[in-house]
Structure 1
């Protein structure tokens, strides 16, 4: 099964926006996400409706963050994307009559609900500001080591 990387992709884009000196176009952000600008705009719609980003059209327009990084949690972004399920365990039968299947479905369902509650709690404790600090710390470490690094090249290429 293919994993859903929307949350990771959008967090990547939001951090690029935070590093940008001005509005970032859909084309530029789509390149950072390695997708089509139409896909990016579709994802950004939920973020705009949640008040996390804003956009303007025309020359000099593009996407900008509309609130400080320390006020945006990973959970906020997840919810703005429509709160897709994190765990997608399938059940052998959706409405089983078999008592074994009922027991299995109940146990798996409870475990999935518990895991998602814990994951949402953890995501609510991490802000984009924390991710930005981590990026800058890693960037400083690379500079101090004199190591060529893909992160900075990738960041500036976007």
Structure 2
């Protein structure tokens, strides 16, 4: 499986989403190699993990097409960070849930050119990835849902 594994690309789909295709097109080959090195090289890896291998190989194609089709059919596409929103609520409302990763801090400095510094990093991450037009998972959602608790509110309001 490891020799055949490849994260798929769909340049036409990405162009339809008004993505910066030139900037993003090198991500799938890099992710392919990283996934092979970290996960597919594991000894005694269960065969049932093939399900996840397929999911990752289609992460920038099949899943993106699903979001595009849902939007065309009038269904909301909602991006969430981690487990802050039960997916069942979104599905019950006829929507499509897209899990977003807030682990990359790479976009925070660019986002701070537009957003105030006191905004939390995951908000900056979502904001800037959409502005950079180089993450297909963020080209689909109408809005993103992130956690909000008292600490977040205090930070956003500048309270100590």
Give the TM-score of the pair, scaled to structure 1. 0.26
Structure with the greater alpha carbon radius of gyration = 1
TM (normalized to structure 2)?
Answer: 0.26
Greater percentage in helix:
1
